[in-house]
Each structure stands twice: as structure tokens, then as C-alpha cells.
Amino acid sequence: MTAPPGPHILLADDHAVLRAGLRRLFESAGLRVVGEAETGEQACQLHAELQPHVLVMDLSMPGMGGIEALRRVRQRDARARVVILSMHESATFATQALRAGALGYVAKSAAADELIEAVQQAAQGRVFISAAIARQMASSRRPPGTDPATQLSSREFEIFRLLAEGQGLEAIAARLHISMKTVANHQTMIKQKLRVGTPIELVRLALQHGIVAG
């Protein structure tokens, strides 16, 4: 059987029901899903093995998570084309994803045709952002030096998010497969860059920017 002519897609999301729905959506649009991943680690591994045209990936997955997986995929393959599909309807998350190398950012609440368009644009090397997220990014005006999206690297941002969720250094180190010393060093740098001195201030800043739920 001849494969569909559209881009080949790798899906990465920890919800099997959502992946099944996305597979049907893409295949109905003439696109081919060549693999599925449940974690950031699996997404990195399968991307290297399958070399899809586009990786469609959630941000909130078990293990290292989407931002770190995106960073590692792009580190291994600078030509990788990634579309983030996320429940986070936040300009901060979108900015971080784009800075880390994503070509698309689509909210899970967006219309199906937006996701199809994002994949098709990414396959051509073009950027696509959900209309609602794009409006939020355009209207966002943060004081200089306080926005985690622009002040932190992708790894620092992921550690910042996990710290704000209340995770300890040991748990973060295990999740990202790095040493506790590395996490502690990043924590120090995060506090310096964001000008926060206490865990409470860090959480407050994360709440302010919609990085964690209140």
C-alpha cells in the first residue's frame, strides 16, 4: 500500500485516548502517524529512530517533560521540526517553546484545523501559533528582567516550573537525568536571573505568569 503523501508524524503525549483521537484526525487529513510516545524520553528515542517530518508533542508528560525533550531533540538534530500541543494557554510557555526551537505552538482547546495547519506549516519549515496564543503574546507586556520566558534557558525554565510545583532537587534531578549539583546550580542561576530570594517569591512569580495553577 502506498503511504499517504502528507508529512509523517510522531505523536508524543501521555494520554492514550488523546493520541488515538489525534491519529484519526491526522489520517483523515491525509497525514501519516509513524509512531507514538508516552514520555519525553520515548519521544527523543523514537525521533532518532523514525526521523519523522514533524514531532507533535505535549509539554506535560511523565519523565523529563516536553521542554527538555524538545531541547534534546533539537540538540541531536537541528533540523527537527516540532509542534507543541499543550493545555498551557500561556504566552510564557509558547515563548519558551519557540525559543527552544519549536516551529508551532497549539493549545489543546484550539480548533482541529489549527493543529493540521501547524503540522503542514512546520513540515515546510514555517512557524505557526494558535490564534488565541498569538494574541496573548502580542498583548503581553512584562516588566524587563522578570519574565521567565525571556530570562531563562529551556532547561532553567523546566527546572523553574518543577520547583514552582513543589518538587525537590533530588526529584528534579531524577526526572531530568542530571545530577543534584547541576539542579542546585541551575536553581541559584534561576533565582539570580528572576531576582527572587525565597521559594515563596518563586512560586508567586510562576503563578503570575500562568506557569503553575493557583
Q: For the chain, list the domains and their CATH numbers.
A: 8-139 (3.40.50.2300), 148-208 (1.10.10.10)
- Which residue ranges of the chain lie beneath pLDDT 70? 1-5, 139-146, 213-214
Strand partners, 57: 12, 84
State residue 3's pLDDT score.
46
pTM: 0.75
Q: Which of 5, 190, 137 is nearest to 128 (CA)?
A: 137
Q: pLDDT tens digits for 128-172?
A: 998 888 887 776 655 555 678 788 888 898 899 899 888 899 999
Q: What angle do CA 47, 51, 57 make, to 5 degrees?
A: 40
State residue 4's pLDDT score.
47
